Each structure stands twice: as structure tokens, then as C-alpha cells.
Amino acid sequence: MVSVPKQSGDAHWHLENTYMTLPTVFYTPQVPTLFPKPVLRYFNDTLADSLGFDRNATTQSCWAQRLTGMVQPLGSQPIALAYAGHQYGQFSQLGDGRAQLLGEQVTPAGERFDLHLKGSGPTAYSRGFDGKGTYRSMVREAIISEAMHALGIPSTRTLAVTTTGERIRRERWHEGAVLCRVARSHLRVGTFQHAALQDNPKVLHALLRYAISRHDPTLMQTDQPYALWLRAVADRQARLIAAWQSIGFVHGVMNTDNMSIAGETIDYGPCAFLDRYDEAAVFSSIDHDGRYAFKQQPYIASWNLARLAEAILPVLHEDRSKALAAAQAMLDHFAKTFTEVWQSNMAQKLGFDDEADNPLPWIETLLAHMQRLKLDYTHTFLTLSRDPFSQDLPVDNGFDDWRKSWLKALETAGVDQATRMKRMQAVNPARIPRNHLVEQVLDAMEEADMAPFDALMKALSKPYDYHDTDARYEARPDPTYRFVSTCGT
């Protein structure tokens, strides 16, 4: 393995790697592949500032070398992470097959964020694959992860995308690239499944204590820290999935190794946003049975949380019946919290005060009309937020009856037009990363035209700005357009 130089003259890197305080079954030291010609193609200045970096303290070439792992910043101890996971319901031993954890950047505010390099070459967990990433898939993740952040949905983020100077083979030849992902941690449900495989309570205890110290440190002072932590994880997941369902996001690959215990959206492989509303929407080319369909996401999240509880059950409580009761209480809390948060989110999308009104009948009826009439999800809420009598809305007796009863209900609740519009426009985005727009940007990017990418990223950075008059980013796709996603990595 090639030794990698460490570089001084850092741009305010403050890296630690507390993950290495865990037993060594959770990681393998890693030195990534040395690439022929790394070039920094995208750098997130706003995110870099919040992390405490000074972009101008070093050259683009130095950034490119660091953000592919070719030069280690001070404090970096790169490792590939081990984990297991249920993928489409089938259990496998997994791990970072094409990534490394560079370290944890400690910000000026004292927060800690993982810096994770995706596409950085083969690891001990690559299982014979090359460990590389395609430029197209990495830019796609940059677009969608940053859009999710702007929409207010908890998400990993993208600090940079760096091309490597290599050509890699997938369904065709692609330019290679490395993405620097920023996350509150890379602890997954699958990490705890991996711990359970060790059949060693000390390993489980070590991982649980570490997870609690990273995300819920006050819980260690309680009588039942593990049960309360499990509930906290369920709470974060319930709020996250409710946000997905409210915005029309389909993750596409909700394997247990893709569920972060930090409650962030992670892994943007085959994800997509709804165009026409269809509760059974599936975009992934390999999800033939609809396991991860839009309507299934809350149920799959609950199933994944059950696998988490299953993994830590031996140490959850010394009395097995109490451990099982704590696990069931967690699942009940998830279901209750998801329902409450989703209903609250949807009520706000229709202008209701969710605490005072009873908006559920109007929510459910609208979704039924959207399903029946094949209405565009985002566009329908956007139009209702502007003008509920717009000619862009369907001419349909059932829909018209719903609209009249909805507006009457708001009037009865004392919600005037100005209040309704203010409430609705605060939560219904004017712009999302439309599947067809993202594909157009990626096509242009592969032809070395970055202007469409820059314009789209700017538009998506302010999704709730109703004063932006550029209609390109609100445009619905052609009715015949059908988007099919692949992992494309």
C-alpha cells in the first residue's frame, strides 16, 4: 500500500477520528487509490464556511488532492467502516466498499461532522469491485442533497466533487469522481447489526455508548439510556420520513445500511421526486416488487427500526420481557410521531392551523383526487398556494367540490386569504430538483457545460422564494416522461 503524505499549511482543518476509539471490528485503516489527475469541479463555499474551512488558504490543486485522499490533512486517520444490512430484505455483511472516513471536522462552534470520501477506491469491504464513483452520480448526489438541505429536510450534504482523471466502466464509460459527503455521523442501523454479529456484549455496549455520546449525550445520565436512545432514534426517523412524504421524495433504497441513526437522509443512489402523484410510485430500476415505493416508506422505516431493536436486544435490558417491551414502545412511538408530524405537515401545506383545525378529511380527499386525476404533486400545492382558482388546476366536479369545501373550512376557521397564502408558501416549494431537469443538467455537465448546473443549484437554494420569476425550474415534465433511476455508481 502506498504511503500518503500529510500536508501542513491546512485551510483550518480540525480533524479527529473518534470512531477509532471503537473496537477494531468496526473499521479497517484505509489509504485510497492515488488518482492520475484530480480536478476540483464543485466546492460548496457556504458549507465550507460553516465547517470552519478557508477555501482561499490553499490552492484548488491542494483541495483536490485532499478531497480525494491523495494528501491527508493534519489529524486525518482514514478508515473504511464495517457494517451489515438488509438489502431488499436480504441480510448481508457489508462495509464501505468504495469510501473512506477521512475524519471528523470540529467546527468553530464545537460541532462535529464526518467527512466521508465516496468513490475513493477499493477497500477491505469492496468484494472484488473497483471502489470508484462516476462523475454523473456524484454530481447528482450533490444536487439533490443540497436541495434537500434547502428544503429543510435533514440530510447529509456535499462539500465537494472532484474528478479523478480516470475513465471507469459501468453500463458505459464514465468519468471518475470522488464526492466529499458531510454527515453528523455515519452510524447506521446496519452498524448495530454488524455489532450483533460479533456475539459479544462488550462490543454492543461500546457502540451504544459511542452513539449516545455522539448524538444524545445527556441520556447517559439516565437510568435507562439505551431504551431512551432507541426512542430518540425512532423520533428522528419519524420526523424525517414525515418530511419525505410531505415533500414527495422517494428514497428508493431504504436498506438498513442506508438508515442513519442521526436522522439524516443518506445515500441518494436511485432516489427521485414525485411528478404525477402516485402513492405506489417506484423509480428504481431494480425494485421490481415495490418494496421501497412511496407509500411503503413509513412501513419500511418501522421495519428497519425493528431490526435495530433486534440487534441491541441482548443489552437493552437484563430482563428480556422488559427489553421486548422497550422495543415495542419504540415502534409505537415511531408510528404515533410519524402520523402526528405528517398530518401537521400536510395541514400546513393546505393553510390550516393544525393544532386548532381538523384538516385530515381535506388532506385525504385531495390526495385521492390527485391519484385519480394523475396530478403533479408539487405543482398542485404550488398552484393552490398562489391561486386556488387557477386554470392550471383540473376542470373536474369532484376536485371543484373539494376546493370549495376546503376554502369554506379555512374561512370557518378564521383563516383569511393573506394568512392562507403566507402559511402555504412557507412550506410548499416553488422549486424542487425535478427529475427531468436534473438529467438535463447532468447531460450538459458531461459535455463540459457547467452553466446549467450552476443555474439549477442557485434556483434550488431558495425553494420557497415565490418572487423568482424564472419559470424553467417550476416546469412540469412532458406527460409522457417516465423517469427510471439506477444506483449509477
Task: Give catalytic residue positions.
Answer: 257
Write down the H helix ranges in 374-450: 377-386, 397-412, 417-427, 435-446
Rg (CA), the chain: 23
Nearest CA among 478, 488, 52, 84 for reference residue 310: 84
- Enter the C-alpha cell of residue 328: 415495542
Nearest CA among 24, 18, 83, 80 for reference residue 213: 18
Nearest CA among 77, 76, 78, 108 for reference residue 96: 78
Q: For 240, how many CA atoms within 13 A lie in the half-sphere containing its CB?
A: 26
State the DSSP code for 174: E
Beta-bridge mates of residue 182: 115, 157
Say if residue 387 is exposed, middle or buried (CB neighbours under 10 Å; 0-12, 13-18, 19+). Answer: exposed
Q: What angle do CA 256, 261, 263 make, to 5 degrees?
A: 105
DSSP per position, 20-89 = GGS-GGGEEE--PPPPS--EEEEE-HHHHHHHT--GGGS-HHHHHHHTTTSSEETT---EEEP-EEEETT
112-151 in b/e form (b: 16+ CB < 10 A) is: ebbbbbbbbbbbebbeeebbbbbbbbbbbbbbbbbbbbbb
Give the Cβ contact number of residue 54 at 10 Å.
Answer: 12
CA–CA distance, 295 with 249 (Å, rounded to integer) = 11
